[in-house]
């Protein structure tokens, strides 16, 4: 079962409660009030998550979080698994 558009495991996030995040699947806007381009992209294409996209993994997803020290390959692999769960 997928938990996010980008492959984040929202239910295991340690910051979820402290930032009052309900997860992008149930929130109109991200908890920080700005725009999440990945969320917007999936929703505009009527996709549950990025793993369902015909151009997966795109450049945007492949670089998401790199500037903050995160390895996007973990989320990309998770999205591959989620796409197999159809």
Q: Can you read off the two tokens belonging to residue 62?
A: 């492949």
Note the pLDDT of residue 27. Answer: 87
Q: What is the pTM of this model?
A: 0.87
Domain interval for residue 16:
10-84
Q: Is residue 17 assigned to a domain?
A: yes
pLDDT of residue 34: 87
To 5 degrees, how large is the angle CA 76–CA 81–CA 86?
Answer: 125
In a domain, 1, yes or no: no
Count up the domains in the chain and report the number. 1
Give mean pLDDT, residues 6-33.
88
**Residue (of 20, 29, 24) closest to 8 by Cα position:** 24
Can you give the pLDDT at residue 31? 81
- The answer to whether residue 68 is domain-embedded is yes
Q: Record the tokens describing residue 13, joined without a space.
A: 């996030």
Please, what sign has the CA dihedral across residues 9, 15, 18, 21? negative
State what percent of residues in the chain have pLDDT above 90.
69
C-alpha 71/C-alpha 86 separation (Å) is: 25
């Amino acid at each position: 079962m997928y938990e996010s558009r980008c492959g984040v495991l929202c239910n295991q996030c340690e910051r979820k409660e402290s930032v009052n995040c309900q997860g992008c699947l149930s929130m109109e806007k991200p908890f920080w009030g700005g725009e999440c381009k990945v969320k917007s992209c999936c929703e505009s294409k009527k996709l549950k998550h990025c793993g369902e996209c015909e151009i997966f993994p795109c450049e945007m997803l492949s670089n998401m979080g790199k500037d903050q020290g995160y390895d996007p390959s973990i989320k990309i692999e998770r999205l591959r698994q989620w796409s197999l769960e159809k």
